[in-house]
Amino acid sequence: MFLKKILLLALFVSSASVFTLAQEISISIKPEKIRVGGALQITVSIQNDQIKSYSQFPEIDGFLKGGISSSSSTNFINGKMSSSQSIIQNYIAKQEGVFEIPSFEINVNNQKKNVRGKKITVTKESGSKSNSPFNNFFDPFDDPFDNFFDRDNDEFYEVEADAFLSLNTDKKNVFVGEGFNTTLAFYVSENNVADMRFYELGRQLTDILKKIKPGNCWEENFNIENINSIPVVINNKRYNQYKIFQATYYPFNNEDINFPSLELELIKYKVSKRPSFFGRNKIEDYEKFFSKPIKVNVRDLPEHPLRDNVVVGNFKLKESIDSKNIETGNSFNYEFEIVGEGNISAINEPEINLNNIELYSPNSEQIIKRERGKVFGSKKYSYYGIPYEAGDYDFSKHVNWIFFNSQSENYDTLRSEIIINAFGEMKNSIIKNIKSDSYIDFIKNQSNELKENKKHFFNSKFLSFIIITLVVTTSILVIIRKNG
């Protein structure tokens, strides 16, 4: 009976460990109610690891797959780092109604995750037309139907493709450190009649990406894993966009960035001049599409003592403090959070010069989101402080963070608006206030000789005994069963 209890305990501990690991990956479906044309999101998140691989997200009736975005978060608390990463699959609602997402399975980092289904309500968009642009949606990359017999090549003719490859940037002139979004996409007109499909895309992308990435830039990659069709309008003409690559770049210096012409080869089918039921009506051919070279001009920032150390972007300050009236010697918690669009990874601590307040090294939390062609997020610094002299402390004069505002094209400063009042007797030493004289004397009187932790030794021996017992018992049971 005792042996059974030990075996059950071991199985329970093992199951609990597996369950804990499984909890590192979470999946959410939001929102439950949207309008036609609105976005539904399925989000896969992982803690303290990276999403290295994931399987296809499900197709949902009444919704069209949109782009995939990502976000990441990094925390430093007491010198220890924790992080999280999310991949978000966006869906566009095509029509009103109540749609049920059936339960599905998704594979993340070779772990299978079962997701419970959910009902989504889509309401009619105000002022929307009944003729939706999705009604005539056409995917030119469906596998074509091939018949059984071949013909001579001269009996087939080439169909002109109404499509093009384009590399675009959202800005043509930037400052050093200012981000610009770069997108490589293949566009196919909804009036296109040529049969096409991608050809060895992985191999081609490897070569393409080597040519795209500038050597003098920090890159925030949107990590496009699945290429989906998104309807767009260009010069009043409707296209299906297949986004292949997207990243935001931040130049390190004033060297202009030149993107070369890129090429993408696709399979395009020739059509029979005399189609018949018993003949092959299409043959495989290839066509290369070329993007135009583009240039991004990079300008130096205006003269400033911190020109080489500031972050460029559009930011605002969010701050909080748990108490504004503090007795000397007591502690407070203060948070300085920089929020906005720009190179979040490059944000450094604010400058703080507070006299008569002891501030300890902060914990930090960084969140980066990449979606809708932009990189934005926040970086938060959490401080622990103790005032040891009475008085009013105006943080606006001593706590600030300087950046270059890309919208106003001027240097800007985020200043604290916190004012705290410290009251009570002056404390010459914070250590005295926490009554640690006796604690210091105690430390001085203790031996610095290393001693064995007997409790740890006993626990190790006990666990070893249990493991050996389990192994021996299991072996005996297996032998008895075989001989029985």
**For residues 443 and 318, what is the distance between their CA atoms, to the nearest angstrom?**
42
> From the first residue on, what is the mean pLDDT of each consecutive set of 10 residues in the chain (484 residues)?
43 39 74 86 86 85 78 62 79 86 88 89 63 36 41 68 93 95 93 86 87 91 82 91 93 94 90 61 85 96 93 96 92 95 93 88 92 90 93 92 95 95 77 42 54 53 78 80 68
* Three-class secondary structure of residue 425 per DSSP: coil
**How confident is the model at residue 311, as a pLDDT?**
96
- CA atoms 404, 405, 411, 413: torsion sign: negative
Q: What is the DSSP string of 145-181?
A: P--S----GGGEEPPPP-EEEEEEES-SEEETT--EE
Beta strand extents in 343-470 (DSSP E only): 351-352, 357-359, 363-371, 374-387, 391-394, 399-405, 410-415, 419-423
The CA-based dihedral angle spanning residues 455, 457, 463, 466, taken in that order and rounded to the nearest 10 degrees: -100
Q: Are 114 and 103 in contact (CB under 8 A)?
A: yes
Q: What crossing angle do the helices spanning 2-22 and 454-483 adopt, rounded to 10°?
A: 110
Q: Among 143, 169, 424, which residue's Cα sits nearest to residue 269?
A: 143
User: What pLDDT sits at residue 459?
Assistant: 59
The dihedrals phi and psi of 59, each to the nearest 5 degrees, come to -80, 140
Contact 196, 163 (CB under 8 A): yes
pLDDT recorded at residue 480: 78
Query: What is each CA distance from 144 to 138, 150, 227, 278, 332, in whole angstroms?
Result: 13, 15, 19, 16, 68
Closest CA to 359 of 416, 311, 404, 438: 416
Q: Given this model, what pLDDT does residue 134 score? A: 33
How far apart are the C-alpha atoms of 144 and 360, rounded to whole Å? 66
Q: What is the pLDDT of residue 448?
A: 59
H helix intervals, 198-357 = 201-212
Q: What is the pLDDT of residue 303?
A: 94
How far is the C-alpha of 205 from the C-alpha of 245, rounded, in Å?
A: 9
Q: Are the beta carbons of 29 and 89 closer than 8 angstroms? A: no
